[in-house]
Amino acid sequence: MKIPSKRFLVLAALSAALMTAQTPGAVTVINYSNLDVKAPIAPGSIASAYGSFGSVTTTALSSLNPMPTTLANVRLTVGGVNAPLYFVSANQINFVVPVGTATGSAPVEVINGTTTVARGTVNIYDFWPALATAGIEATRPAIAQNQDFGINNRTTRARRGEVIQLYATGCGLTNPRVNDGAPPAQLSRAIADVKVTISVIEVTPQFAGAHPQFPGICQINAVIPNQSFVSGQVPVLVTVNGIASNAVSIWVAE
């Protein structure tokens, strides 16, 4: 048997190393608000991508008008379209799903410089609501603002009959339609039917649609029912065309 030369062995090892280095890793995309790896995401909403993206300087965007599609020499595409980026690091990217993304399974790629470093797919639905939360405890306190814009919590509570401002992802497209990576130029309401359940009472929100400042966020303003049993730490959920969000809670004055 002929023994391979040392030169051949070195070239074979180098070739294998180059092939390994050029093979993109996996990327997992999840809903930014509820962190459920099985949940789909909706066009125009914030999502997070996790994986190994190579050498990346951790960077957050510095301007919202418009959002960049490249940060620290890193891009992320959904269905071949560059996504607006909030944050990039070596293992996590926060981005806004392009509003024109078609429903179904969409390819996702992360490009560092000129090299595709990660590939995967994500399920796209027209809408899939998820309320933002401020904690990991079982009651899942909402990231919410009271009518006076104070942050809702145990010591700064909302009042019955006043408006609570909730923040979510996945409310779907709006009218007028927003542009990728830019705040709406005017009031932009969700096209889908949005309902809010506070305690056990379902209410129609005063407003549900694109946040006036932060792309990818759905703002929902609803009046807290003026019923005596709606007090203390109260459960809240949202439905969009009948699809329910994760349950969160708000604090209401007694």
112-135 pLDDT, tens digit each: 999 999 999 999 999 999 999 987
Residues 55-75, mean pLDDT to the nearest whole number: 89
pTM, two decimal places: 0.86
Cβ-count burial of 158 within 10 angstroms (0-12 exposed, 13-18 middle, 19+ buried)?
buried
154-185 pLDDT, tens digit each: 999 999 999 999 999 999 999 999 999 888 88
pLDDT band, very low/low/confident/very high, at 26 (cuts 50, 70, 90): very high
Q: What 3 state SS string does 158-187 have?
A: ECCCCEEEEEEECCCCEECCCCCCCCCCCC
Q: Which residues contact 16 (CB under 8 A, 6 or more apart)?
A: none
- Beta strands 59-60 and 163-169 are unpaired
**d(Cα 47, Cα 57) in Å, to the nearest integer?**
20
- DSSP, collapsed to helix, strand or coil, labels residue 224 as coil
Residues 36-65, mean pLDDT to the nearest whole number: 88
Confidence (pLDDT) at 17 = 45
47 C-beta neighbours (distance < 10 Å), count: 25
What backbone phi and psi angles, to 5 degrees, belong to 162?
-105, 170
